[in-house]
Amino acid sequence: MDGSLLLLLTVVLSAWAAVGDPTGPVHVDGAPPSKIAVVGAGIGGSATTHFLRQHFGPEVQVDVFEKGEVGGRLATVTVNHNDYESGGSIIHSLNLHMQDFVKQLGLKYRRSVAGKTAVFNGEEVILEETDWYLLDLFRLWWRYGISFIRLQMWVEEIMEKFMRIYKYQAHGYAFSTVEELLDSLGGSGFINMTQRPLSDSLLELGVSQRFIDEVIAPVMRVNYGQNVSIPAFVGAVSLAGAQNNLWAVEGGNKLVCSGLLKMANANLLQAQVTSISPLYSEFSTELPQYELNFSTAAGTSSELYDIVVLATPLQASVRSGVLFQGFNPPFDELPGNYHGTVATIVHGYLNTSFFGFPDPRLFPFASILTTETPDLFFNSVASVCPVNISTGFRRKQPQEAGVYKVFSPQPLEKSQLKALFRSYYSVQVTEWQAYPCYGSSEGLPPVELHPNLYYLSGIELAGSAMEMSAVAAKNIALLAYHRWNRQTDMVDQKDLMHRIKTEL
Ligand SMILES: *[C@@H]1O[C@H](CO)[C@@H](O)[C@H](O)[C@H]1NC(C)=O
Ligand SMILES: *[C@@H]1O[C@H](CO)[C@@H](O)[C@H](O)[C@H]1NC(C)=O
Ligand SMILES: *[C@@H]1O[C@H](CO)[C@@H](O)[C@H](O)[C@H]1NC(C)=O
Ligand SMILES: *[C@@H]1O[C@H](CO)[C@@H](O)[C@H](O)[C@H]1NC(C)=O
Ligand SMILES: *[C@@H]1O[C@H](CO)[C@@H](O)[C@H](O)[C@H]1NC(C)=O
């Protein structure tokens, strides 16, 4: 979304600078690992590679397997010689790791181009952003009463607790499960929030049903293609991250991934990992190495690794193509499945009549969000800016041909495209298994699948956002390092707030 109705929902918190990592590569016993594999080069895999390099030092070989494009769900499409983000990227507003990456890589933030947001209910625009922030605030106040302030305080409190993770990680602490991580940040309240519907939490706070229907539901639809029954935790994460146009990277968000891999001096293999199996030497029946079989354009091959990080969703619905062979006991199928979202990039003329504005010159919006309405076939439509913005760039007016991104649960039919656009030059469709289908599982997937075999993407079941993946990446790099060096006092420690105070 390029709009900033959501600015109103933004939480302003003071951020402290990420502190340098105090743990050096001290090998307490045995040799350092010689080879590590990371499967997946999206933001999670790239960030893990970067942190693994930081912790294990320059000697270890790190191989990164990617079957598609580096960047994964951070991808772009080209329209009329310009590139546009095709992934629905939610970047957390407190994204300290992401900030750090952008800085270290010497990347630039993309200039944001002003544009107004409105909420459409299938018949008319029910909420619109004006030019004047204070007026918007008063309107929200008038329409929803105390709801808005309550919501803001709730999100702020959750984010303040979430921010503790940066301190814990700067001190080198790691967690062996997502539940342990959440518990250390927000106690049982956070775990509860991963299980309970957002709407329940908000109603309990005293947020009005109308506010939920007209503001919260549209935000969840554009961010996750889902309704307010999604868990409260992921709902809060996306409300805090709603200010997301500040976080686009000039040239495309995927540049963060390729930059991290390069900086980490990783060995990138364009390959599909087909199987993974443990191999035990005669000296070690507990700590196996892992054999990864993979296919490249040149044929099939196989390599042995000391540590493996799987940074790609493994749920059945995603069809990762990775077979687990020879694990005893076998892994149960991972909980949850993924939700299909379709991003359609259209170059053409928006049919503003569809939104009740017969004259396109009078249509003042850049983004349209939608309420939960049975017959509505899309979740949002927004005029989008290219990933490279020249100084003279201005957003196209609705009476001109422009580039629009439509999110919908199903691919758009021709008649639907014709209803939304007066005419168009091109249509490009990307179908993503974009986010977990929230509420599709009880519990969260494990982080440690087997000794020295880690799974990153489970964090998405708690909350899917680039920064969540970066936090999980740092956690897994620390965990892998501590496990390798048998530093049990750095994993799953309780009462960390207190400990950190006394360490300082
Ligand atoms: C979460 O907490 C609420 C009250 O704060 C409670 O009603 C609910 O049962 C809890 N849910 C879970 C899954 O523990
Ligand atoms: C939200 O969607 C889920 C799954 O599609 C459905 O079971 C649930 O009833 C919906 N909830 C609301 C409040 O619309
Ligand atoms: C877009 O921006 C990136 C990053 O600043 C730069 O490397 C690239 O050359 C730019 N591309 C164009 C077409 O300007
Ligand atoms: C992996 O490849 C090796 C060597 O080609 C082969 O011996 C092994 O059976 C393969 N494993 C699986 C699970 O396919
Ligand atoms: C535009 O939207 C209006 C109102 O929904 C509809 O009647 C019309 O057929 C649509 N298409 C065009 C090309 O105007």
Question: Can you tell me the distance from the alpha carbon of 254 to that of 75, in angstroms, rounded to the nearest whole number?
Answer: 6
| Torsions phi, psi for 232 (to 5 deg) | -60, -35
d(CA 99, CA 103): 6
CA of 353 to the centre of ligand 2 (A): 30
Alpha carbons 317 and 337: distance in angstroms, whole number? 6
Residue nearest to atom 6 of ligand 2 (CA): 229
CA dist 423 and 421 (Å) reads 5
CB 207 within 8 A of CB 219: no
Gap from CA of 255 to ligand 3 centroid (Å): 10
Answer yes or no: is the C-beta of 293 below 6 A from any ligand 4 atom. yes
Predicted local distance difference test score (pLDDT) of residue 3: 33
Look at residue 381 and give its three-state secondary structure. Answer: strand
- Does the global pTM surpass 0.85? yes
Q: At what angle do helices 466-484 and 43-56 cross, to 10 degrees?
A: 30
- 3-state SS string for 179-218: HHHHHHHHHHHHHHHCCCEHHHHHHHHCCCHHHHHHHHHH
43, 191 contact by CB (below 8 A): no
83-99 residues labelled b (16+ CB within 10 A) or e (exposed) = bbbbbbbbbbbbbbbbb
Tokens 């790691």, located at residue:
174
Distance CA 386, CA 348 (A): 15
H or E stretch at 498: helix 496-503
Contacts (Cβ under 8 Å, ≥6 apart) of 106:
none
250 Cβ closer than 6 Å to some ligand 3 atom: yes
CB of residue 164 inside a 6 A radius of ligand 5? no
Amino acid at 289: Q
Instruction: Choose the residue to mutate in 249, 250, 390 for probing ligand 3, maximizing ligand atoms within 8 Å of C-beta.
Output: 250
CB 336 within 8 A of CB 314: no
Containing 369, the helix (H) or strand (E) segment is strand 365-370
Tokens describing residue 473: 């990446």
443 burial level (CB within 10 Å; 0-12, 13-18, 19+)? middle
pLDDT at 95: 83
Q: How far apart are CA 381 and CA 343, in angstroms?
A: 10
- The pLDDT, as a whole number, for residue 89 is 59
Quick one: which of 250, 233, 260, 263 has its CA closest to 92? 233
Give the distance, in angstroms, between the CA of residue 124 and the centroid of all CA atoms in the same chain: 31
**What is the rounded distance in angstroms from the CA atom of residue 39 to the CA atom of residue 30?**
26
Q: Are 283 and 308 in contact (CB under 8 A)?
A: no
Class of residue 73 by CB neighbours under 10 A (exposed 0-12, middle 13-18, buried 19+) = buried
Mean pLDDT by 10 residues, the chain (504 residues): 34 27 42 95 97 97 96 89 79 78 92 85 88 66 76 89 94 97 95 93 91 91 92 88 65 95 98 95 80 96 97 84 87 80 96 97 94 94 90 89 95 97 96 82 88 94 89 98 95 91 74
Preceding omega of 32 cis (within 30 degrees of 0): no
* Binding-site residues, ligand 2, Cβ < 6 A: 227-229, 372
Q: Which of 96, 1, 15, 71 is nearest to 467 (CA)?
A: 96
DSSP output for 228-240 = TTSBHHHHHHHHH
Q: Which stretches of 68-216 are DSSP H helices?
A: 96-104, 133-144, 147-162, 164-170, 178-193, 198-205, 209-211
Going by alpha carbons, the residue nearest to atom 2 of ligand 3 is 251
The whole-number pLDDT of residue 17 equals 26
CA of 188, closest atom in ligand 1: 14
| DSSP-based three-state secondary structure for 409 | coil
Distance CA 438, CA 456 (A): 17
Longest dimension (CA), the chain: 78
**Ligand 1 pocket at CB < 6 A:** 192, 195-196
Alpha-carbon distances, residue 407 vs 62, 72, 346, 427 (angstroms): 36, 18, 11, 13
User: How far is ligand 2, taken at its centre, from the CA of residue 200, in Å?
Assistant: 13
CA of 420 to the centre of ligand 5 (A): 7
In one-letter notation, the amino acid at residue 343 is: A
Residue in the block written with tokens 């106690």: 187
